Amino acid sequence: MTLAAPAPLDLTDPAVVADPYPAFAAARREAPVQWHEGLGLWLAFTHAESNAVLRDRRLGRIWRDKAPAERFGSFNLIHRNAILEMEPPEHTRLRRLISSAFARGHVERLRPWVEDLAGRLVDELIERSGGSQPVDLLSGMAEHLPVAVIAELLGVPESDRHLLRPWSNAIVKMYEYGRTTEIEDGAERAAAEFVAYLRELAAQRRKDLGDDLVSHLVSVRDADGDKLTEDELVTTCILLLNAGHEATVNVSGNGTLALLRNPDQLARLRADRSLLPGAIEELIRYDSPLQLFERTATTDVEIGGITVREGEKIAALLGAANRDPAVFADPDTLDVGRTENAHITFGAGIHFCIGAPLARVELQASFGALLDRTTTFELGGEPQRRPEFVIRGLADLPVVLGR
């Protein structure tokens, strides 16, 4: 079978980090799946092949501890026990238990609280901006809201909530390529502190159960009487924060910037608020918060005309898949009225994001509050982008807001 030409894509190139989509389009025209020598894995550039990577059961999430083990003890612990890094039957058991806890109405219970918080955060930004002064939407709202929501969901006291985002930020930097020793040490330190904190919180809940998710995760049992181990419980809470808030923060930033750079679409959304749920899906598609998701072949697998050998890795490039013209009409155009939107930002198959409903509630609340409470809404300067490729987001987003 013919080997696809190596992908020339340099994921550390500042131009690619700033705007990877032209490079994705050029690569997609060459071949749907290509070998990347620098990363040592295959890359899927099309929607069909990326979707196959996510769904094919011969391609698994096979976690291997970072070495040396004594250096990465806590980081390895929170991944070894994570649903995201498991395959059946372990994945089936853990997802069933977590879904049972989520099924107690946590997302809908929080919806009014989320909408109220979003409104208050927008009001504070408007007051500081006054229709003329630039304020940072990221630190003032986008970063605050999802962390507060997940903290409320888990029952983390308000006095401790400032600890969560720094821990998460440090941990997710381990998913990037070209990491420094300093970044790796910071990730392990954050993981250790986060694990210790959640062990203490779980111990408190065992003594005094509440109506929060940690209490339900502590007490949930399946029909066979099985329950989460403490390591699984701790890991699940960390995964909810890391995966949940990082994606929401970055959709908020990337999506707001896209709207402000497409004022016709912002005006269209202001004029017809019924478009909001679909517009959220379009913002998620248009500039994906997660660009790459790896799988490992458990046997030889044919994907896109090449054979991924047993033990080799292949990654779905979610941002490339979400701009595939074979699936999306005018894929590089932001269209808040788009109705055919089969984006795969939340994944597919058994690893479809369990927090997707909560993310949608948060995003609808935050964008809804911005639309409802402002008449002036424009860029207040050139935003700075984070230097990482895999987790795609902004470092700041200066905006001017007024009533």
pLDDT band with cut points at 50, 70 and 90 for residue 12: confident
Beta-sheet strands, E only, within 94-216: 135-136
Sequence-ordered list of residues with C-beta below 8 angstroms from that of 55, at least 6 positions apart, any chain: 348, 349
d(CA 61, CA 295): 5
- Indicate the class that CATH gives domain 14-402: mainly alpha
DSSP letters for 117-152? HHHHHHHHHHHHHTTTS-EEHIIIIITHHHHHHHHH
Q: Using CA of residue 255, residue 260, residue 261, residue 265, what is the dihedral sign?
A: positive
pLDDT at 289 over 50: yes
pLDDT at 1 over 50: no
d(CA 370, CA 378): 11
**Closest to 181 (Cα-Cα) out of 78, 68, 63:** 68
228-237 pLDDT, tens per residue? 999 999 999 9
170-194 pLDDT, tens per residue? 998 998 888 899 999 999 999 999 9
What is the DSSP secondary structure assignment for residue 379, as one 8-state letter?
A: E
Total residue count of the chain as it appears in this document:
403
pLDDT at 222 over 70: no
**Picking from 165-179, 217-231, 279-293, 374-388, which range would have the lowest pLDDT averaged per residue?**
217-231
pLDDT band with cut points at 50, 70 and 90 for residue 7: low
pLDDT at 2 over 50: no
d(CA 117, CA 377): 19
Amino acid, single-letter form, for residue 158 = E
pLDDT at 85 over 60: yes
**Picking from 97-106, 228-237, 284-293, 296-305, which range would have the lowest pLDDT averaged per residue?**
97-106
Secondary structure element (H or E) that encloses residue 98, with its range: helix 90-102
User: What's the pLDDT score for residue 10?
Assistant: 86
pLDDT at 141 over 80: yes
User: What's the pLDDT score for residue 6?
Assistant: 66
**Is residue 395 within 8 Å of residue 249, measured between CB atoms?**
no
Residue ranges covered by each domain of the chain = 14-402
Predicted TM-score (pTM) above 0.85: yes
User: Average per-residue pLDDT in the chain?
Assistant: 92
pLDDT band with cut points at 50, 70 and 90 for residue 36: very high
